Chains A and B, each alone.
Chain A
């Protein structure tokens, strides 16, 4: 999940068991399920030890004081909620995630349509070029963006100066810095939406469009009454999935601004890193991370529901 941008719109029908033979096969079946369990054991251990246990441990940690010597209950959470900085963090995380995801979804949709028009042997080349932002490791391409946003002698400011405008302190003031982080995220994530929507567009049967034209539908009507309803499920799965990943994003903000100027670009992950790892207040850092949990859980619930529905659609 580098940028974690990948989605498993795949089957949720793992353990379809064969009808069980009734009598003499029972021992065989028991042996079979033991082997099955042993084969899945590494996975179970991995999830239990390095995902489930840390999750509960995080909840425990978040209820300790800074030196981790005393139990303080929900004090960390109330402390955070009363801090101006943290209120900013909540606002910025939502702004960052929602704006980026909406822009990525719109641009990805446009790109998918454009790519759909030119289907042919050149499609692969175009797709390859458009996927470049998504292929380069995000931390590295963000470095380039940082360099382009540099205030003194940067690529963008030079262009602005040539056109007769003043230099912009891209990462130096609150709202432009927020705009820059969103811009980089959109640049990185749009190709993923494009891929998902291209696959979805391909799956819309051509006859539906023909039928719509016979009924006299124009291009916009076709979009709203044929394309969008047919793609609805994929769109929602992709958007929700991207929402989770964008919400939890760390790389972009950390490298571009480290949360500055005046904490005006911090998101949950970077703020948790600053408080928990850099300042060494592990319990407070853990509680910051945990604030993501409810939002992620709601999104995850709907993704799962979407995937299940999708599976049923495929099955029937």
Chain B
């Protein structure tokens, strides 16, 4: 009797020890992961950190070229105040905002309408069109920018910021449509049948049922269109020449770099200001965007 109790006791103790060692192992794995991730985070954040550091330096400190470049000796906001009163920079910012807003609006209208049509109504050849939309998404901007240069020239929009409003939807719409098709297909058929029976038209059905239900998808697609329009570099660089037509990405590079003169403090401050809108948007809506990107991936 006593032997058996001792036995069970030791077995219990052994079990406990093993559980403890397993727990320890888990703990170590956790700390190891944290350590490795910290290294990655530090490496990933070096350039943004350096951008901010440089943007806070005065021109005098920049041109002295002495001391540790990784710290600011006399932090100043003069670069920011310069930019915020510099008409060209404000012009670039305004152009970027305008192009982005218009691109997002146009792309979303086109892609929501066509995604509804392709996922719910269908017509002859709509399957082929859906595949075609996906293929279009895989066409990179740098493949067609030279023929588009000619075409934009014919229309008379060379060196006109509105040519971007015409061209950016070609980059944004295919993927937005693709996301929306996925979200619309996941809405149960019973909903639209009920709506049809209640006498709703297709547009009403889209507006009152599909758009509200598929809101996460719409947010994801909107962020995508925003990202495309805000960060694009090739089209504005190729099609815009004069300062008053440029958007931020190109404007910063061609206006703040004059010949061999690099006003790095101002350039970096401009980069910070231009990165604020995407960072704010991603900070709040990242989850929607990631869900949109990986929607199919997690379903497996």
Binding site for B on A (CB under 8 A): 1-4, 6-18, 32-37, 39-40, 42-44, 46-47, 50-51, 53-55, 57-58, 61, 110-111, 114-115, 117-118, 126-133, 135-141, 143-145, 147-148, 152-155, 158-159, 187, 190-191, 195-196, 199-200, 202-203, 233-234, 241, 244-245, 247-251, 254-255, 268-269, 272-273, 276-277, 282, 285-286, 289-290, 292-293, 296, 299-300, 303-304, 307, 310-311, 313-314
Contacts and interface: CB of A to CB of B under 8 A. Distances in A.
Given A9-B294, A158-B68, A195-B290, A137 B249 contact: yes
B87 interface: no
Given A43-B114, A196-B297, A138 B231 contact: yes
| Closest CB pairs A-B (n = 5) | A137-B231, A248-B140, A36-B121, A269-B142, A199-B294
A143 B145 CA distance: 23
Given A10-B181, A16-B185, A46-B110, A314 B296 contact: yes
B275 interface: yes
Given A14-B130, A50-B166, A114-B33, A248 B141 contact: yes
A249 B143 CA distance: 10
Nearest to B144: A54
6 contacts: A117-B30, A158-B70, A200-B298, A272-B142, A273-B237, A286-B146
Given A44-B129, A111-B40, A248-B142, A57 B297 contact: no
B271 interface: yes
A289 B234 CA distance: 13
Interface string B132-146: 111111111111111
Contacts of B50: 144, 147-148, 155
A6 B224 contact: yes
A15 B282 contact: no
Given A39-B117, A118-B34, A269-B234, A126 B41 contact: yes
A36 B173 contact: no
B157 interface: no
Q: Which of B113, B119, B146, B268 has the most CB of A within 10 A?
A: B146
